[in-house]
Every structure is written in C-alpha cells, then in structure tokens.
Amino acid sequence: MTSIATLWNGIAAWLAVHVVEPALAFTHVGSSAGDPRDIAEAAMIAVLQVCLIAFVMRPLETWFSAERWEDRKLTRIDRTYTLLMLGGIFPLFSFLVLTPFANLLGGGSDASGPPAYGLTVWVPWFASHPYAAFAVYYIAYDFTYYWMHRAQHAIPWWWALHSMHHSQRQMSCWTNDRGNYLDGGLQSIVLALVGLALGVDASQFAVLMLLGELVQNFSHTNVRIGFGRVLDRVFVAPVFHRLHHMVVDPDRPGLHNCNFGQVFSLWDVLFGTSLYGEPVRPTGVGDPHVDADNGRGLVMMQWWTLRRFWGAFTCRAGWRLGEVAFDDNLRPVPVALLDLRQLHAARPATAALPEPVAAPATRSDALA
C-alpha cells in the first residue's frame, strides 16, 4: 500500500508542476482555481473512474445482464457524457471554485490560522481522529444527496432538468453522467456548500466524490446483482437502483417513486421510500416529450432539456410539488391528469427481460 501511495503522490506532483500549473498560467486563472495538486488528483481520479467503468463494470454487463439488448446504440451517448464529464469532475470543480469564498469567511484550507468553522471546530475530538471525521463527512454528504435527489423528482422545474437522466431506455454503467449541465451545476453547488460548511478540504472532497461516483456508476450498471437481504437495506445495489429508473406502471403509478439513495439505501428504508422484491423492469420514462431525448444528440438533448426547464420555471405549475409530465408547449402537467395506459402503449420496446422468480414488492420504513 505504501508503494501505491508513493506512486500516486509522485504522479500527482508531476502533473501539478508540469501540466496543471502551466494550464492555470496560460488561462490566467492562477490560484483562484485551487491547489494545483488537488486539481491533478481530481484528474487522476477521473481517469481511474473511467478505467473501472470500462474494464470492470462493462464486462459485468455482458456476464450478468439484467436486460438483453440486440444492440447498445442508446448507450453510446451516455459514454460520451461520461468522458466529457471526466467521471464526475463537476462537483469537485464547484468545490474548488467555492473554496476561495470559504477562505474569505475564515474556513478554507488556504486561510491563515486554524479554520473558523467545521466539524473539527465544533467537536475538537475529530481533529485527532481523521477516519471518524471522514465517516461523518460521508454520512452528511450522502444524506444531503438523498434529499436533494427527492427534490429533483418533486419540484417540476428541477424534474424538467433531471428527467433527461431518467429518459435512458438502455440504462448501463455509463448512464450516471447522462444529465443536463445546469442540473449538474445545481447538484454540485449544493454538495460543495455542505462540504465547505463541514470544513472538508479539497483532497477529502475528492475521495468523497470518487466513492459516490463509483457507487453510482455501479448502481446504474445493467446487471442483476444485489447484496443480500441485510446489506441491500444498507447499501445501494444495482437491482435496487434499477427500480428507481423503472418506467411508470399504469396499474401502480406511484411505484417508481422509490430508491433515491446514492450510496446508502438506509435513507430510503428509514424514510419509507425503499422498494424491494420487484422483478427486472424496463427503464426510462412514460412522458413522450422526455423519452424523445433518446433520439437526440448531445447538444440537442441539452437544448430541449433547457426548454422544458424554462417552460416549468416560468409558470406556477412548475413550482407546485408533485410528479409531472410535459405538454406540447413544454409546460408541466400533473401525472394524475394523464392517461398512463395510453402513454405506456405508445412507448417503444428496447429490451428482452428475463422473468425471474421474485417476492412480492414491498416498501419498508424500518430495518426488517
């Protein structure tokens, strides 16, 4: 382990001096972007993430596929998104951008003297127990993500952005980074602000992001893998998250409003949004205006998502909590007013689903 750490640190130091610092000087950004070493490590983490997706998760989709596709053409755009996003660099970038503001408030890693706020200030014991502090950071980070994710589904204008992520009919290991960039920016700011408030430094935040992103890449993977009856109620497994992406069932229209956790499924269990025991279901959305994203390229996906967002953001219905679809003018319409069976019948079929033996679907609000 020591040799690996030494190699990692050596590569990060070389990149910081020979790549990052010249790039910052060329763009006249300077130190405002953060520590060059932290930026170098973020880039290394991104490369590591892409390699794990391509050489570990992608083969698993061949060996243990949940859905069988004649081709994978719909997954190609998601792979492009992942490569462009460099495996989740958006949140870390926001953290580095926000760090100077934290320094002005007396709490960033570049501030002179001890930090003015943060976990180690509120509870000094954590200053001498870094692993315990990191555990608290991660729990707070994941808890924030859970409630933010629920907001993305409950607030119509935010769903207008987030719906692009859910439009994918061929959900795979590349799907995690499929999303509108405004949505990614909003998520990044929320998570980065929580990290700054807790006093997390950039290197710790990079590890938080790596863990969160890798778990999400794995949970989106097209595999029939779970962690067992007990661990499935603590951690998010692919079979658990796949139910979150299921197409609306006309006979049980609220069934898909479940399994919002990023790393810990425990939040869903505690707050009554967990769903277990369902067989593999097709992924995607019933709304034809959102489903149309599957026929668009990267630029047009971004454009049409922003059009949906603006249509929702500029009307009262876009601020009323609840599940919505979009009309021909891209204004939100409550799902309760729609004929879900008609939408379901018009949806294209893209996958052959095995028929496993499954227990009846159950929701739980306590560990059991």
- Check residue 254 and give left, alpha or beta (phi > 0: left; psi -120 to 50: alpha): alpha
- Condensed to tens digits (0 to 9), the pLDDT of residues 151-208 reads 999 999 999 999 999 999 999 999 999 999 999 889 888 888 888 888 887 667 777 7
pLDDT of residue 128: 86
Decide: helix, strand or coil at residue 105: coil
Cα distances (Å, whole numbers) of residue 241 to 82, 169, 172, 302:
19, 14, 12, 24
Alpha helices, DSSP H, located in 16-166: 21-26, 36-52, 58-63, 76-85, 89-104, 119-122, 130-154, 156-166
Distance CA 131, CA 31 (A): 29
Angle, helix 130-154 to helix 156-166, in steps of 10 degrees: 100
CA dihedral 357, 67, 58, 167 (to 10 degrees): -120
The pLDDT of residue 108 is above 70: no
Cα distances (Å, whole numbers) of residue 360 to 3, 128, 244, 363:
50, 48, 17, 10
- Condensed to tens digits (0 to 9), the pLDDT of residues 110-166 reads 545 556 678 888 888 888 888 888 889 999 999 999 999 999 999 999 999 999 999
Residue 96 — pLDDT band, cuts 50, 70, 90? Answer: low
Tokens in use for 150? 């629920």
Amino acid, single-letter form, for residue 260: F
The pLDDT of residue 272 is above 50: yes
Mean pLDDT score, 324-333: 93
Decide: helix, strand or coil at residue 235: strand
What would you report as the CA-atom Rg of the chain, rounded to the nearest whole angstrom?
21
> What share of the chain in percent tops pLDDT 90?
48
Residue 258 — pLDDT band, cuts 50, 70, 90? Answer: very high
pLDDT of residue 14: 92
pTM, 2 dp: 0.85
Mean pLDDT score, 212-241: 93
Per-residue b or e along 168-206, where b marks 16 or more CB atoms closer than 10 Å to that residue's CB: bbbbbbbbbbbbbbebbebbbbbbbbbbbebbbbbebbb
pLDDT of residue 360: 42
Instruction: Return the domain boundaries, the chain.
Output: 34-276
Tell me how far apart the 2 most distant CA atoms of the chain are, in Å. Answer: 64
* CA torsion through residues 48, 49, 54, 56, sign: positive
